[in-house]
Structures are given as structure tokens and as C-alpha cells.
């Protein structure tokens, strides 16, 4: 937002007075600004407006981390911008790949958070129960658990 301040911070002596940022400094300041903007948006949207916090009931689904959505979106934006930046050479591609991985992981967590269903009887995840039954070890663990549950109920 204010490149003169960045120029002041990067100057090392009186003789060296630059008027523009280098492409690398400009690249990193842009991406740092995008991440700081995402954190600011997340803080503004998630600060409670009332003095008392509402209590969560057992029936409500748990909400993910408040920074997850804005940071995943910011990383997607950074991946697109850095992919199209040619002034920093291959660093733009490396930052683009890293930011894209973080963004995809964040969107994956946003889409699939809280979707697993757990069995009340065994406590196992119902989406993976078929795989668990296919292995001998899981079968023996389930048999042992049923034996323990039977001795507790008597």
C-alpha cells in the first residue's frame, strides 16, 4: 500500500536512494499483503458482536477453524497471481505450486469437514467400516470389543 515506506526499510545507507522496489521485493510484498488482508477479513468476520457467547448445543455441527476459508481463498488467489508473474523467474512457479497445494487442502477440509458418521454401537466410522471388516486384524478387534461389551452388560 505504501512502497515508499518499504523503500525506506530496504535502504542501507545515505548513498543508496532507490525510487522503485525490485521485482522480488514487489512480489513478496504483494503476497504478504494478500495474506494479511485474508487474516484481517477472518478476524473481522469472526469477532463476536455481543458480550455473551452463545453456547453450542450437542446437536449443532462443529464449525471449522475461522481462518480456514479466507486463507484457502487467499492461497488460491496467490497461486493464480504468482503463476502469471514472470519477473521473478521460476520462483513464481514454485510459490504457485505451494500456494495451490495449501489452497486445495484448505478447500478439501472445508468441503468434507464433519461429514463422517460414527456408529453408536462400535464407534467406528461408517464410511470405512467395509474396509475395516475386510482385514483380519479389524475383525479380531471388533470381536474382542463385542466380547467386552457383552461382559459389561451382564
Count of the separate structural domains present in the chain? 2
Residue 60: its pLDDT value, please? 44
* pLDDT reading at 27 higher than 60: yes
Residue 51: its pLDDT value, please? 64
33-89 pLDDT tens trace: 999 999 999 888 887 777 665 555 444 445 677 888 899 999 999 999 999 988 888
Q: Which residue has the higher pLDDT, 63 or 141?
A: 141
Residues 72 and 128 placed together within one structural domain of the fold: no
- Residue 54 inside a domain? The answer is no
Write the CB contacts of 7 (distance below 8 Å, at least 6 apart in sequence): 18, 19, 20, 21
Residues 147 and 86 placed together within one structural domain of the fold: no
Calpha distance 152→154 (Å, rounded): 6
Calpha distance 45→109 (Å, rounded): 19
Q: How many CB atoms lie within 10 A of CB 74?
A: 24
Inter-helix orientation angle 23-46/90-112, to 10°:
20
User: Alpha helices, DSSP H only, in the chain?
Assistant: 3-10, 23-46, 68-83, 90-112, 129-134, 136-153
Residue 36: its pLDDT value, please? 92
Q: Residue 24 has which C-alpha cell? A: 522480488
Q: Which residue has the higher pLDDT, 5 or 105?
A: 105
| Residue where a domain terminates, one of 112, 129, 145 | 112
Residue 124: its pLDDT value, please? 65
Residues 108 and 35 placed together within one structural domain of the fold: yes
Average pLDDT, the chain: 77
- Residue 61 inside a domain? The answer is no
Residues 36 and 80 placed together within one structural domain of the fold: yes
* Closest C-alpha among 71, 62, 85, 1 to residue 39: 71
Residues 77 and 148 placed together within one structural domain of the fold: no
Q: What is the pTM of this model?
A: 0.61
- Residue 60 inside a domain? The answer is no
Residues 144 and 91 placed together within one structural domain of the fold: no
Residues 149 and 73 placed together within one structural domain of the fold: no
Residues 11 and 78 placed together within one structural domain of the fold: yes
Residues 84 and 129 placed together within one structural domain of the fold: no
Residues 106 and 133 placed together within one structural domain of the fold: no
Residues 142 and 87 placed together within one structural domain of the fold: no
Owning domain of residue 91 = 1-46+66-112
Amino acid at each position: 500500500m505504501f512502497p515508499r515506506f518499504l523503500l525506506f526499510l530496504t535502504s542501507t545507507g545515505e548513498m543508496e536512494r532507490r525510487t522503485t522496489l525490485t521485482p522480488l521485493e514487489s512480489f513478496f510484498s504483494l503476497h504478504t499483503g494478500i495474506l494479511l488482508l485474508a487474516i484481517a477479513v477472518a478476524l473481522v468476520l469472526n469477532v463476536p458482536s455481543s458480550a455473551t457467547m452463545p453456547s453450542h448445543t450437542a446437536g449443532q455441527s462443529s464449525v471449522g477453524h475461522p481462518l480456514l476459508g479466507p486463507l484457502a481463498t487467499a492461497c488460491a488467489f496467490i497461486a493464480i497471481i504468482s503463476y502469471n508473474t514472470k519477473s521473478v523467474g521460476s520462483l513464481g512457479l514454485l510459490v504457485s505450486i505451494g500456494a495451490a497445494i495449501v489452497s486445495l487442502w484448505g478447500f478439501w477440509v472445508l468441503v468434507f469437514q464433519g461429514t463422517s458418521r460414527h456408529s453408536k454401537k462400535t464407534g467406528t466410522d461408517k464410511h470405512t467400516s467395509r474396509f475395516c471388516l475386510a482385514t483380519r486384524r479389524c475383525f479380531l478387534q471388533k470381536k474382542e470389543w463385542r466380547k467386552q461389551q457383552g461382559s459389561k452388560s451382564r
